[in-house]
Structure 1
Amino acid sequence: MMPSLGLKAPAPFDLPAGLRETTPTCQRAAIHHVAGQAEWAALDWPGLVEALMALGRTDIPLARLTEGHVDALRVMAEAGATPDPDALYGVWASRSGGTGLSGKPVRGGWHLTGRLLFASGAGVLDRALVTVWPEEDCHLLLDVAVSGWSFDTSAWRTRAMEHSRSHRIELDAVVSARQIGANNFYLTRSSFFPGGVGVAAVWTGGAARVLDLLAQSTEVPAAVSDPRRVRLGRARTDLASAVALVRQTAAALRASHVGGAPGSAGEGQAAEHQEPLRTLATLCRAGVGAAVRRILDDVRALAGPAGLAFDEDLNRAVDDVALYVAQQSQDGDAVYVGGSA
């Protein structure tokens, strides 16, 4: 996919209306549809962020699910592993709030116990890459079939990103699994921190979708006053800034030969080699996150109560992006960047 000219976000993917339904069957078909429009595992960083921005501009929860599938494919390629053909993947590696999985090998597979939060695509995906901690200082990445797992839909209490199906899973079971990469591979890959740049690209595309929906809304006043021009001008400038930051970071990652594509070196990166990549990725995520939040503030003011109350697509998109970008720790990133050389 070629970059758009200038500082505009790339156009959305073509997504037939029938694939915008939110049933598991339609979501599976939609992920397959958009995933089939690029050779995701083979894309270099500039190509990847262009495709992910386009994906975010297409549909935000769908972008969340497809980005997880793409991330899994690229992680496996980096490890020299081959995914199951035609399977939809996710990466379930969150340890938010002290959660996560512990496990040990047993006859017949792995005995996994623990709680997974933010298991996006639960009930839709076929397989997931999950991090398992047999010991406190050792983690493994396992490729596991998850289509038969039970999950708790009652824990998600907001309408925002509900179509990402990011449910909670309690696990105490023996499962068949294969290990991806060596011990401690997942967190020490050269592309671990840069992977967050891909998520920032989706946030950027999501912000572009919000502005698209604002322009299309019949509930938002058409008259453009000076105060409205100010907010529109700020929002468009912030979007251009986010697009530029994502693209520039991707170019720097390509020049650094960072892993994440077939044949790249990705295991066992020493801390001194990880820190520059962490700084680069954190600066990108922090800058994009701040720009996207400002865009949402201006869009809420421009939409007014009518646009937010009566335009469901716009309202959902605003809420979806707001929750999605909330995963970026503003204070934590600021502390890290402030202390980095």
Structure 2
Amino acid sequence: MTTADEPLSTLAPFPAALPDATLPALVASHDWACLDWPALLRALLAVGRTSIPLGRLTEGHVDAVRILAQAGREPHGGATYGVWASRSHATGVRATPVDGGWVLDGTLRFASGVGLIERALLPVWLDEERSVLLDLDVSTWQGDEDSWRTPAMIDSRSLTVPVQGVEATADAQVGDVGFYLGRPGFFPGGVGVAAVWAGGAARVADLTARATAGAPPAPARTARWGRIRTELACAAALLDTAGRVLASSEPDLGSSSASASSTEASPARGAGGRGQELSTEVRAGVAAPSRAVLEECRVLAGPAGMAFDGDLAQAIADLDLYVAQQNRDADQGYLGGLDR
């Protein structure tokens, strides 16, 4: 059994859930661009354990301000940011050059934080191969309210946004052409997403414990809690190791302190360098125990917990959808294809 302030594991204890957390408060709570990797991952674990959609939005802001730092730019004072980079099902935004900037057209899917965030970093495409990254005011952009057809992650406001004839000035550009995908920090940034997954798994375990607090003792239930603790410990230990490796390997694996002018991939066996290898190992290694926790908690909660505990049902749906972002076949294929 767990509570939201228990460490859950021994080697790498989980931080407690945060009381009364809001997105504006979290944005202001740290200098996210300068936070070292171990502290960053622990902070994201705590937010994920507090609220999975809130963790998603916080991670998007964190990613954005660290990208800006990599480019040697400051975020607009006090603004809440996101990164709107999805090209799901051949969507995305095209940029047509005009005097003084670009005209933008296309469709943005998974634009998290519509109506909640003030600015977004948006890669826009000059052609099939070349993109530029723009820092845009999206506070008035509207999403299609009917585009999100599931209650899962509903609070993340990840809507589809139509973009038609939007003008962007040249001073919105962040970095050189190709900066977004080519920067050293591109792949390591995915470790932050994995931290929110693990925090979300801890939240599901916390809520399952609350929902089943009156259940009679049974060996099968005890064994399931043992498996949950094991899975959470594996995820937390992997993130703890990743944080220390990232902190000690800059800029080889990519970080917010990497050179703003560098757009070369880190040298290594994989096309994306050692940063891609590390990020893929961590994402795959955290996604698997997160899914295992979901499976165990569904059984422990049973139909009553799933039907009558709204917080638990929402957290299970949120984590199930969010962790589906990890493509198991692609990640395992990539890792299996590396030189041994």
Instruction: State the TM-score, normalized to the length of structure 2.
Output: 0.91
Q: Which residue of 1 aligns with 2:314?
A: 316
Q: Return the alpha-carbon distance in structure 2 between the equivalents of residues 227 and 5 of structure 1.
A: 23
Asked if 2 retains the 8 angstrom alpha-carbon contact of 1:95 and 1:116, the reply is: yes
**Deviation per CA, 1:1-25, whole angstroms, max 9, x where unpaired?**
xx99733211122326xxxxxxxxx
8 Å CA contact retained: 1:78, 1:263: yes
CA–CA distance in 2 between the matches of 1:36 and 1:271?
Answer: 32
Shift of residue 132 of structure 1?
A: 0.6
Counterpart pick for 2:327 among 326, 329, 336 = 329
| Matches for 1:73-88 after TM superposition, within 5 Å | 73-88=65-80
The equivalent of 2:242 in structure 1 is: 249
Q: Match for residue 272 of structure 1?
A: 267
1:297 matched to which residue of 2? 295
SS in structure 1 at match of 2:164: strand
Which runs of no fewer than 5 residues in structure 2 stay unpaired? 1-6
Deviations 1:33-92 (A, max 9, x none): 112222211111111101110110111111111110111011001100111112111000
Question: What is the SS of the residue equivalent to 1:213?
Answer: helix
Q: CA 1:301–1:5 in 2, change beyond 3 Å: closer, same or farther?
A: closer
- Hey, what's the Cα distance between the residues in 2 that align with 1:271 and 1:252? 15
Per-residue CA deviations over 1:255-302 (Å, capped at 9, x if unaligned) read: 210333246557312363432211111011001000100000000000
The question of whether the paired residues in 1 share the 8 Å contact of 2:184 and 2:258 is answered with no
Structure 1 residue runs of 5 or longer lacking an equivalent are 17-29
The percentage of counterpart residues that share the same residue type is 49
Higher fraction of helix? 1
Query: Which range moved further: 177-186 or 286-295?
Result: 177-186
Q: Deviations over 1:300-332 (max 9, x none)?
A: 000000000000001100110110000000111
Greater CA deviation, 271-280 or 167-176? Answer: 271-280
Amino acid corresponding to residue 214 of structure 1 in structure 2: T
Does structure 2 retain, via aligned residues, the 8 Å contact 1:80–1:262? no
Distance in 2 between residues matched to 1:266 and 1:335, nearest whole Å:
32
Q: CA RMSD in A?
A: 1.8
Q: 1:54 aligns with which of 46, 54, 66?
A: 46
Superposition pairs of residues 1-341 of structure 1, within 5 angstroms: 6-15=11-20, 30-107=22-99, 109-177=101-169, 178-217=172-211, 221-258=214-251, 259-262=254-257, 264=259, 267-270=262-265, 272-273=267-268, 274-341=272-339
User: TM-score, normalization: structure 1?
Assistant: 0.91
Contact 2:266 2:275 in 1 (8 A): no
How many residue pairs were aligned?
Answer: 325
CA 1:229 to 1:266, structure 2 compared with 1: closer, same or farther past 3 Å? farther
Aligned match of 1:22: none
Identify the range of structure 1 (122-131 vs 271-280) with the bigger mean alpha-carbon deviation. 271-280
Q: CA deviation at 1:104?
A: 2.1
Q: Tell me which amino acid in the other structure corresponds to 1:295.
A: V
Does structure 2 conserve the Cα–Cα contact (< 8 Å) formed by 1:190 and 1:266? Answer: no
